[in-house]
Structure 1
Amino acid sequence: MPKVAKQLSDRAVAAIKTEGRHAVGGIAGLHLRISAGYRGWVLRVQVGDQRKDMGLGPYPAVSLLEARDKARKIHDDLRNGQVPISPKVRQRSLIASKAATEKTFHWCASEYLKTKAPEWKNAKHRQQWENTLEAYAMPHLGQLSVSVIDLPHILACLEPIWSTKNETASRLRGRIESVLDWATVRKYRSGENPARWKGHLDKVLAAPGKIQNVEHHRAIPVDDMPTFMQDLRTRAGIAAKALEFLIYTAARSGEVRGALWSEIDLNKAIWTIPASRMKAGVEHRVPLSQVALKLLADMPRIEGSNLIFPGTKGQVLSDMTMTAVMRRMESPAVPHGFRSTFRDWVGEKTQFPRELAEHALAHTLESKVEAAYRRGDALERRREMMQEWSKFISK
């Protein structure tokens, strides 16, 4: 153990100017080291069979009293059998530890998207997430550590748009909740999620169902369909044919725009849409009526393209092409509305059961029991229904 030198005062320490190590007393092994203009504290200790010099910080930023306190703690650690760590190393460790666990909301959101994006069907879904968070969450949460985010921060994001853009605000709330849940699992934060709805935000925000004005896709009345189809068949162009095929099959716009010749079995009159292109992620077979088959037979085959309804450059049609056809026809409806029209026709004009129509629309059944008992896809029964639908709209 180093000898204890004469205990110097603050004034005596301040008066030391010569280079070298100067024992200041009070604590064994404590020195003021002066070298090339640098003045700092050094503590020499015996660790096992080795001598170690431990830096305690610069002087006078670290005062004599503070240096003695630091040195005393190190001696206490040694007596307790602990390997001493210099304050400088301890501080670096604390900073590194904090940096490893203190993550901003912006960083967590980016990492969450990287993790979950492979589950989503297309890049558009990720883009919607990014746009919503960037516009409404990042200005309030982006640079905050997720460990400190609480109710006031969440309300700062939601309250300005909760009444005016409730659907967007509701999605935003769910997305913030997901990011914070991810951060909790990764140990970047602890405690309950301040963006949770039940038993929390539902106590301070109006229920979405009370303030949300649901705008359904505009549809053409069932009885107006024959007239509309008569006009549509006079329209030239791939987009008009794609819209006509969409109506015959009651399919979604994206399913028709991405339809491939390899998905069509003309002999069996079946269009098989793979799970990767379906909203529910389940393969869907569509029975093709006679008019749908004739439309396909009249479609030209583009060399080098497997698309049934390719764009001008051989690409998939944009989601506005069929809408543009309807606008030129001065129709207020939208392509997705034809699924609603088809559903109305089944309910109002036929005796086909509801379940058959839901299957034709590839809707996911809410009843798990009903879904469990539905073994097949009722293809032939649906074929009869789709043939009747084509006959009705072709009157």
Structure 2
Amino acid sequence: MTKIEWCHAPGFKAESWNPIVGCNIVSPGCTNCYAMDQAAHIERMSRGNSHYAGTTRQVNGKTVWTGKVAMAEHKLDEPLRWNKRRFVFTNSMSDLFYEAFEVAGIARIVAVMMLAHAWRGHVFVVLTKRGARMREVLSDPEFWMLVDLFISETQIEQCDPDNRRKGDLRSLRVSAEEAMGEGGYLPGIIWGVSVEDQTRADERIPDLLATPAWQRCISAEPLLGEINLERIRAERLTREECGGEDFCGGQLYMSALCNNARECAGQCDSEGGGGASIDWVFGGLESGDRPGRLEWALNLQAQCASNGVAFLWKQNGSFLEGVATQADTDGTPFSWAFADGTYFDVNDERSHTIARDALAHSGGVRHILNEWWASGDGRLLKKPASKSLSGNALPVGWKGGEALFDVPKFESCLQWPRAIVELAADAEGGQ
């Protein structure tokens, strides 16, 4: 069982599964990774006698990965023993495509996921920050030969407890050629990349789109900056693509949400499309010490809604950002309204002088009064009562200084991929 919001798909039991543990830090999104503290806690509780031993260390009072990776053999076949259909986050305590984890180990895990989907109807989500390695591994025919081998071995070692689906087991044998074919690719596994800002989106999303997959997803968490999924940096145009003598060498951009639609930022009119696209986007602001902006979330939701892509917002993070509702004649704001219905007016607070000073001069985020914080760029932040608020608690707009909650902004588009909704409907109809 897991409390992770995006695992609670309709018709499924939410689950996390960690056949491997251990990782290392590769980008800013890893800085406050919850898995590091959780791994250290498990190691302490087991007194170093678990597979988590040696995966973390303390640096300046903070838990960080050591880079060690370990496979939990006793966890590997867990999904084959689960009866009720589950929506599974695979490797919440690691990265399946971490460079220190060998390809044969990846193949064993993929084989189990394929069998678990065929036997039990489980659906798996795999997230990585190493999109290039995912693309390389899943595009290699030799990898699928390994998967085929492990499927055969697992079928010999495991038996169907109900002894009713032997036909499924025989028909599940997958050749490398079948695995690399078009359409219906590996049903039951959603491959995705984690991106925290535009730089990481530009780096990882093109690899995801080039990876053969049944469904693709993006985890925008922790969201540390605005992301435009409709304008992802791709490769530069070649001379042939630009039309020979009219070669501009312009940067090529593509939409991750609309069949890989492309456009050139140079002087030519080169366009293209017809490729893969993203099926699902979910995300949240950081629950650590890096406050984000709610408009980043609203913009992501709008991009997904306009392209018919499922979008699920997980959490608002540690801070709520106030929207200025009144300002002095020089434009300096003095009153803010927050998504939880509270207001802050520096003229009504006993520390209004401190607040004004902090808003004008602080270099970062500064505590000014109780749950109120100020940022030097003129923003006011509030520590919420809990780490997250439901999507319904976010305002859709402002009128006369009052927050409008009439239309739940984050429920205006599908929250789950259509393929998952259809699977749930088929299962319900077959009961």
What's the TM-score bracket when you normalise by the shorter of the two chains? under 0.3
Q: Which has the larger radius of gyration?
A: 1
Specify which structure has the higher proportion of helix.
1
Q: Give the TM-score, by structure 1 length.
A: 0.24
TM-score w.r.t. the length of structure 2 is: 0.23
